[in-house]
Amino acid sequence: MACSSLDISAECLKLSQRKELPKHVAIIMDGNSRWAKAKGMPRIAGHREGAQSVKRCIKAAIHNNIEWLTLYTFSSENWRRTPEEVSDLTSLLKYYLKYEARQLHKEGIRVRIIGEIDRFDRKLQDEFSAIEQLTKKNNRLTLTLALSYGSRGEIVRAAQRIAEDIQQGNLTIDQVTENVFAKYLFAPDIPDPDMILRTSGECRLSNFLLWQSAYAELIFVDTLWPDFTENHFNAALETYVRRERRFGARPGL
């Protein structure tokens, strides 16, 4: 069952003693605007509070020895929002990267960026490069930020690059397999997510990791992202370990 409510309990804090946890968790961080609206606050207040949830989420991932954490930070569709909100979002992103980079590095976190980053201004692109360079040798956790990211666009881009290689004689049609196609995606070295979590009660992927999520366990929770805590993260992991992953095989095979 894809949609599942979460039981937050002390049992969730003992996950290290349970069966295998996901190596890669991806999160659609939804609900910032609704959180702010419910409190009579401007949208940017929800995004600021959501940044605090990111810190809590990273802490929970490290505590549970998660190796890869991918966050849907800024979708390609976000560019359609009002210029004021786009400006607020990019300014908050600049602030976060500038002031959190050294702390992330200190904690042994490697930061990766995926998406159409050339749509951001040059100064922000430089911040992306700087944090990736600073943290590239860290191995405690790989934190991937999906920025100006849309999975359909990623797949189209991969198909175009494959077509170019075929046209140039570097590849034949018969050589195009699933494994080869995957190598043309934004970050082919990042493993597919074992678990995708979405907050705010919405039960859809919203153009996020469509290719990579083929066999991911999907978990949807009602909690708005700014209210998301370490206990919510642990509860999602508890739901994950209760499931049987069969990858299309029959039970017992």
Tens of each residue's pLDDT in the chain, 253 residues = 334 444 444 444 455 455 689 999 999 999 999 999 999 999 999 999 999 999 999 999 999 999 999 999 999 999 999 999 999 999 999 988 888 999 999 999 999 999 999 999 999 999 999 999 999 999 999 999 999 999 999 999 999 999 999 999 999 999 999 999 999 999 999 999 999 999 999 999 999 999 999 999 999 999 999 999 999 999 999 999 999 887 766 555 4
**Under CATH, which architecture does the 20-150+191-241 domain have?**
3-Layer(aba) Sandwich (3.40)
Contact 18, 239 (CB under 8 A): no
Annotated active-site residue in 7, 30, 165, 192? 30
Q: H-type helices in 142-253, by residue range?
A: 151-167, 178-182, 230-241
The partner residues of 26 in beta bridges, in order of sequence, read 70, 196
**Nearest CA among 128, 78, 72 for reference residue 98:** 128
Residue ranges of the binding site for substrate? 31-35, 43, 47, 75-77, 79, 81, 198, 204-206
Predicted local confidence at residue 98, as pLDDT: 85
Name every residue whose Cβ is closer than 8 Å to that of residue 252 and which is 6 or more positions away in sequence: none
Side-chain-facing half-sphere of 137: CA atoms under 13 Å: 2
Selected catalytic residue, list 78, 138, 207, 231: 78
**142 has which bridge partners?**
68, 110
Report residue 65 as tokens. Answer: 């020895």
Active site residue 231: no
- Contact between 215 and 247 under an 8 Å Cβ cutoff? The reply is yes
Coil/strand/helix, residue 106: helix
- The total number of residues written for the chain in this structure: 253
- Alpha-carbon distance of 155 to 159, in angstroms, equals 6
The per-residue pLDDT for 18 is 54
What's the confidence (pLDDT) of residue 249? 61
Classify 201 in phi/psi space as left (phi over 0), alpha (psi -120 to 50) or beta.
left
Supply the pLDDT for residue 120.
Answer: 95
Which sequence spans correspond to the domains of the chain? 20-150+191-241
| Residue 126 falls in the annotated catalytic set | no
Residue list for the binding site: 30-35, 43, 47, 75-77, 79, 81, 198, 204-206, 217
